[in-house]
Amino acid sequence: MERCDVALLVIDAGEGFTAQDAHVAGYAIDALRGLVLVVNKWDLTGDGKAVRTQFDLSVRQHLRFAPWIPLCFVSAKEGTGLRPMLKLALQVGEERKRRVSTAELNTVVQRATAAHSPPSVRGRRLRILYATQAAAAPPTFVFFTSGPSGVHFSYRRYLENSLRKAFGFSGASMKLIFKGKKGR
């Protein structure tokens, strides 16, 4: 896992998404790798649109912690879906390398904080002063705040979702860093 840029997590269509699959997906996310969920043996399911939609909903229910992971359906035996799978893996690799300008990033962050202000911590209101992208592959964003220890994980997730909605980063794990004001 440490040597890859994009991990392909292969699951069996007959078994569905298991707890072990979620565990392995968590490893890829913690390692800040790109991730594509590959559903193999799709030829055994009947490949109807309703079946695909139901399977997708079932997987999304298990992957509530990472709804940004793309799915692709393949049959290794028949060789179907392999080209789209490789194309998707390359797209995720490009998403990991994407850079966002500081001006665009701060516009999105200002809109997100205006729509849903940060929670107060010990009576003090948290303020996000500005943000910048420190690195790509994996996308790393640094937020300068009035109190970095006061950022709750749910607000981190909200900011991450706001960034994903604005800029994409489909399949790419993100790293968010919160720092205090300089000189403090």
Q: Cα 138 vs. chain centroid, distance in angstroms? A: 11
Cα(165)–Cα(183) distance, rounded to whole angstroms?
33
Residue ranges of the chain with pLDDT lower than 70? 47, 150, 182-184
Contact 125, 132 (CB under 8 A): no
Give the other-Cβ count within 10 Å of 57's Cβ.
9
Please indicate, yes or no, whether residues 112 and 50 belong to a single structural domain of this protein: no
Q: Rounded to the nearest 5°, which phi and psi values hold at 63?
A: -100, 40
Please indicate, yes or no, whether residues 79 and 110 belong to a single structural domain of this protein: no
Q: Residue 24 belongs to what domain range?
A: 6-97
What is the total count of domains within the chain?
A: 2
pLDDT, tens digit (0-9, with 9 covering 90-100), for 163-178:
999 999 999 999 999 9
CA distances from 178 to 56, 77, 171 (A): 34, 47, 23
Global confidence as pTM? 0.89
Please indicate, yes or no, whether residues 54 and 122 belong to a single structural domain of this protein: no
pLDDT, tens digit (0-9, with 9 covering 90-100), for 34-65:
999 999 999 888 767 888 899 899 999 999 99
Among residues 97, 121, 143, the one where a domain terminates is 97
Please indicate, yes or no, whether residues 88 and 116 belong to a single structural domain of this protein: no
Asked, for residue 40, whether it belongs to a domain, the answer is yes
- The predicted pLDDT at position 44 comes to 87
Report H helices in 82-150: 82-97, 102-115
